Chains A and B, each alone.
Chain A
Amino acid sequence: MKIPLRLRSPFGQLMPFAFITIRTPRVRPIPIDVLVDTGSPWIAITPRDILRLNIPVKHLKKAAKHVTVSLGGFRFWRYEMGGTVYVKDENGKTIGVKLPISVLYPTAKKWPRAIKHIWSILGNDYLTVGKFHLHFSPSEQIAYLEK
């Protein structure tokens, strides 16, 4: 089973993105595009998608471990919420993976403007729990998840 990824080059080099939908109570089930980033231990939702999905951060608990996170030069509190992350395979069928989802909320009281340009991330926990292989060949413009 293959999940095609989208390749984009916002900064001149190709990067793999996936569309996901998160299903959990009180969160809008709108698709968001996330960067597939093996440099991140976790799936992480960043401020622009917190606002977009209307995630009730005040009702979430901070993570028990690694409560502060640095991403894109900014610092965040790491909260966690349970949920199921859906992606679409090459045949249009949705595949759900249930796991804790990190929600990154800026530690700064006044949010720097650029912070809202940072993509949410699909990290290694998603690949591990979902038992996915990541295939990424930028020179051949190929990117997909497979299991």
Chain B
Amino acid sequence: MEKANVRATEKEAAELLLKFEESEKWFSEHYEELRESYANKMLAINIEDKKIVSASSEIEELFRDLNSKNVDVNSVYIATIPPKGIAFIL
């Protein structure tokens, strides 16, 4: 029973990872056009239809907005677009 639960959890995790990968792919493909409109912002992208649900320069504000719209944070891919002219060397 426990093994079956673990398998179910792993299957769910794999499905969720796939949805997020698809969202990230969409984000990468549209990065240049999104950067023009959303530089220095964080975007919440619906993992099902790839629509931008919310955008904000502050992540706390983004979460507040998602909460006010009753959007489940598990259902959105959060992407960040760095400010123009700044690069991060880690």
* A pairs with B: yes
Q: A86-B13, A88-B18, A116-B80 given as contacts; is B24 within 8 A of A19 (CB)? A: yes
Secondary structure at the B interface, as helix, strand, loop or mixed, is: helix
CA distance A118 to B88 in the complex (A): 7
Q: Mark A24-38, 1 if CB is under 8 A from B, else 0.
A: 000011110101010
* Chain B, range 53-89, C-beta contacts under 8 Å to A: 57-60, 63, 73-74, 78, 80, 82-83, 86-89
Judge whether A6 and B28 touch: CB under 8 Å: yes
In the assembled complex, B4 has its CB within 8 A of some CB on chain A: no
Q: How many residues of B contact A (CB 8 A)?
A: 30
Which A residue's beta carbon lies closest to that of B19?
A: A31
**Once the chains are docked, how many angstroms separate the CA of A51 from the CA of B28?**
23
A contact face: mostly helix, strand, loop, or mixed = mixed
Contact in complex: A8, B80 (CB < 8 Å): no
* B82 surroundings in chain A (CB, below 8 A): 10, 114, 117
Cα-based distance from A28 to B89 in the complex (angstroms): 28
Q: Is B14 engaged at the interface, CB distance under 8 Å to the other chain?
A: yes
The 0/1 profile, CB within 8 Å of A marked 1, for residues 18-53 of chain B is 101100110010010000000010100000000000
Give the residue of B10, B21, B40, B59 whose beta carbon is less than 8 angstroms from that of A94.
B10
Interface residues of A (CB under 8 A from B): 6, 8, 10-11, 17, 19, 21, 23, 28-31, 33, 35, 37, 39-40, 47-48, 51-52, 71-73, 86-88, 92-94, 113-114, 116-119, 121
Give B residues with C-beta under 8 Å from A: 10, 13-14, 16-18, 20-21, 24-25, 28, 31, 40, 42, 57-60, 63, 73-74, 78, 80, 82-83, 86-90
